Structure 1
Amino acid sequence: MSDRIQQPPASDGIREVSKNLPAVGLVATESNAEWIAAEILRIHSRAHQVIVTAAVDADPQALTFARWLDAEVVDPSGSQPQTDTPRERLRRYARQAGYPGLVYHGEGDGSVSLPASREALNSAETFTIDARIEPVTDPEPTVMVGIPAYNEAGTIGTVVESAREYADTVLVVDDGSTDQTVEVAEAAGATVYEHERNVGYGGALKSIFEQADRNATDHLVVLDADGQHDPSDIPELVERQRESEAEIVIGNRFGESTETEMPLYRRFGLFTVNIMTNLSLGILTPTNRIRDTQSGFRAYSQTAISSLASDSSIGDRMDASTNILYHAHSNGYQIAEVPTTIDYDVEASNNLGPVEHGLTLVGNIIRTVEREHPIMLLSVPGVCFVLAGFVFTYLTMFNYFQSGTFPLGHALASTTFTITGILASFTGIILHSLELYRQ
């Protein structure tokens, strides 16, 4: 510890210790200074004295804390025999000091249960007993809400205020906004992380994952800044994650109990993208498919947060939502869904048109399938093309022998299908081999 640490002032809230109560014996080491200090303060507040010694002939920082906090310190060196154990040293000191007994806790962690320890000491026939330890209760899991925002000054304040009711922390990642998004978000109570320039939705998500990972967040819920997502659904996503232990929980806009009024063109486009995404993930059965692959309303576990924070393959654009699913699939993560209602009666914040957005997603899916599943994308269609080429070859030869004329159209089709199929098949096999070699 630094020499600049100063002795803390005495607290008026600590009751004066009494020698009519048994003392508590603790053992200082080089690594338990903080625990020693916390136990002394807690035990003193209950009018018991603490006696501290060290495990070795040294003066660790914990002994310095003990002296500052008015605990009684037994120097491990001096006139005591070298064969003394810390327990015997503390016992002898407590008896000589006139305490009615000693509750020995040593250097272990946990907190001494003083009522249970006094009861055990009263019923024992010895001067020293091992401390009874209070049961350790797990702390409540932390929930962070992450909101990527770009020029959302008109809605971000309301979204932050609503989300704060259901989260320990609300983090807004401002993606280079040119309006008052930062000021409004901070005034609403959010922690704001700023990008110097606009890097895209995926880039904002990566910053959210990194900040959540640094804070060791248990549950991260990401929602949009434009007010489409209902923050009151946050507890349902978190609860489903705790119950199912799924690494990712998606707010599903297509569930039976949802009331999302989605434009027909958008519903059709998402239906197509959902099918393509599931097929690219190798999900063929209806029971396992992801019903809403493009929902940005998601909850992430600590495991998913950590791995996504270090994954450089998550794109900066709107296709990041799909890339995250590919990341989850490659890591064997479980994905669950809960029904949620989306309000589309807000000013659109997506600066991509629906057609451009859809083409971006489809292009990303095709590139991913080509990289991850070249056999399915190239070799299987290639074999079908070769078979079609054989069919046209048969028709060409059959027509020639029957009529004596050579069908040029059939011959060209046969050649085209056969060559294309062979090239596609071998390309898929080569890419598949390279992928296996890379792994």
Structure 2
Amino acid sequence: MSRSSTPRRSRSGSRSSCGSGPTARRSRSGSRSRTRGDEIPLVHLDGAVTGAHAAPAIGIVLAEHNEDAVYRTVMRAKRRGHPVLLTYPPALADAELIDAVGSLGVTVVEPPRGDPTVAVFHRALSTAARERGLPGIVLQTRDCPRIDYGRTLNALDRADFEVVAIPEAWNEADTGPSVVVAIPAYNAGGSIGRVVEQAAAFADEVLVVDDGSTDETGVIAREAGATVVTHERNRGYGGALKTAFDEAATRGVAHLIVIDADGQHDPADIPLLVDTQERSAADIVIGSRYVPGSNTRIPFVRSIGLAVINHMTNVSLGNLRPSGWIRDTQSGYRAYNRRAISSLAEDDTIGENMGASTDILYHAHRNRLSVTEVPTTIYYDVEHGSTQGSLSHGLDLVRNIAWTIEYGRPLLIVGLPGTVSMILGVVVTSLLTTQFLQGGQLAPVPLATGVLFALGGLLLCFAAILMHVLNEHPTFKRLRS
């Protein structure tokens, strides 16, 4: 394994642009130029903006706990010449409070109905900004921390229209970089440059793990500004992830964000993952395609495969109640904090294939690492998709889960279905036999089916007991460790 790096970027927001590559928020045409606060537009009290170089808006969601922070955000934004759009939960429709905020020259946006998520609030603010002809919008996070305008507006330059605000707190890490984006890459020369440029706006460092590529992946990533670690041979997705964890642990990274190299993940969601991790203290935050607020359109065949894998993974983890499920077990868009990074870097049992995503969840379960999910949008119409086919990926995952069933929870995953099958078979066989003995007709097909269910269930119960005994035997445990 060899490493090559570029000079570390400054955390002050004064990074040099790596070019005007395709944008992050579904615009694939290039970035727009926006003001940096030195071109002050005329902002009217009704939210309308005039001037040739109008500044992007600041979007805020008012909540019970952030009123003071909202006022501070509004005043800083107005001093920089940014119009402000604000919405609020329907339950917080306090006319006096809304009027007080509106008197500062803020445009109050009608709140969404029902019990909206943060993603729904942000969508409403973004829609209002478009309707007012604004050139873009910076969406404040829930607690309204001080915005790092330099880095945030630099990130907005690379996005289509909206971006989540990058807080100044990202610059205050006492040991090691605050946010590092890791990109496992194999023969991704067609997309890696664009992905690195987009991710760089949200990171102190972009780390590309060139997993034995035979094209110019490493060269292109380095030219785009990434630090590149090269595998001499292809080790697989899991092998690249293990290298990323090792590098992050060595650097003392506070937040490691993993994204794909093909452009399916939107780097503009990185602040949302980091903010969620800091607020909830979750060890792992997953960018999910299934939680409310995601606009991902999953191809039909893939959606069926993912549904099966998600259910199998949750059952193998012992998550039997849907309320405790991890909805998107296969998303590669994840944020890891220091505790998770350190723990995963020391785990040699994580596989080297695509099943590593599942292995990490098993590791989190065993080591009591907390996991939460946030909505994100994943795009499947990118020009350079995954190098592994859907069938191959699915077989990898099924093999990985089967291994965990065999060596992890055989009594639950194998024994319980076996018991149910055996009971069902015995009941059906008994009823049909009793009916025949009382002078009824023999039903050979249902009877044979009942016998097969009973025998199959009995064999599954024996297999579950055998696997459980082997798992608990000291010699077997020693061999596994």
Task: Give 2:174's aligned amino acid.
Answer: P
Aligned to 1:377: 413
1:360 equivalent to 2:396? Answer: yes
Is 1:333 aligned to 2:406, yes or no? Answer: no
Measure, in 1, the Cα distance between the counterparts of 2:376 and 2:453: 47
Aligned-pair Cα RMSD in Å: 2.4
Equivalent in the alignment of 1:202:
238
Alignment of 1:233-382 (within 5 A): 233-382=269-418
**Post-superposition offset of 1:200:** 1.0
Q: Which amino acid aligns with 2:405?
A: V
> Per-residue deviation at 1:431?
2.0
Deviations 1:88-139 (A, max 9, x none): xxxxxxxxxxxxxxxxxxxxxxxxxxxxxxxxxxxxxxxxxxxxxxxxx962
**Structure 2 unmatched runs, 5+:** 1-171
- CA shift for structure 1 position 192: 0.6
- Residue identity (%): 50
Contact 2:426 2:451 (C-alpha < 8 Å) held by counterparts: no
**Is 1:232 the equivalent of 2:276?**
no
Pairs within 5 Å for 1:86-101? none
Cα shift at 1:326: 0.9
After superposition, the Cα gap between the structure-2 partners of 1:167 and 1:384, relative to the gap in structure 1 and judged at 3 Å, is: same
Q: Is the 8 A contact 2:257 2:333 kept in 1?
A: yes
Deviations 1:346-405 (A, max 9, x none): 134322222332233233223312321111222112222322342244245424532398
Kept in 1: contact 2:291–2:375 (CA 8 A): yes
> Structure 1 residue 268: deviation in Å?
2.8
Aligned partners of 2:323 and 2:454: how far apart in 1? 38
8 Å CA contact retained: 2:316, 2:413: no
Partner of 1:50: none
2:294 and 2:442 mapped to 1: Cα distance? 62
User: More deviation in 343-352 or 225-234?
Assistant: 343-352
Structure-1 separation of matches of 2:440 and 2:222: 84
Relative to structure 1, is the Cα distance of residues 414 and 270 closer, same or farther in structure 2, using a 3 angstrom cutoff? closer
Within 1, Cα distance between the matches of 2:394 and 2:461?
A: 28
On the 8 A contact 1:399/1:407 being kept in 2, the answer is no
Paired residue secondary structure (1:403): coil
Q: CA deviation at 1:267?
A: 2.4
Residue deviations 1:135-191 (CA, integer Å, cap 9, x gap)? xx9627621111000111121112112222221111100011111111111111111
- Rounded to whole Å, the distance in 1 between the matches of 2:443 and 2:378 is 58
Query: Please, which of 221, 227, 230 is the counterpart of residue 191 of structure 1?
Result: 227
| Aligned positions, number | 303
1:144 aligns to what? Answer: 180
What is the deviation of 1:307?
A: 1.5
Given candidates 190, 214, 238, the residue that maps to 1:154 is 190
Conservation of the 8 A alpha-carbon contact between 2:190 and 2:384: no
Q: Secondary structure at the match of 1:299?
A: strand
Cα–Cα, structure 1 residues 338 and 395, in superposed 2: closer, same or farther, change >3 Å?
A: closer
What is the CA–CA distance in structure 2 between the aligned matches of 1:275 and 1:162, rounded to whole Å? 33
SS in 1 for 2:286: strand
Q: Which has the higher contact order (CA 8 A, sep 6+)?
A: 2
5+ residue gaps, structure 1: 1-136
Q: Which amino acid aligns with 1:197?
A: R
Cα distance in 2, alignment partners of residues 214 and 168 from structure 1: 15
**Which one has a bigger Cα radius of gyration?**
1
- The answer (yes or no) to whether the contact 2:432–2:447 under 8 Å persists in 1 is yes
1:398 correspondence with 2:434: yes
Q: What is the distance in 1 between the residues matched to 2:429 and 2:373?
A: 50
Cα distance in structure 1, aligned partners of 2:257 and 2:300: 28
Query: What is the CA–CA distance in structure 2 between the aligned matches of 1:168 and 1:436, rounded to whole Å?
Result: 46
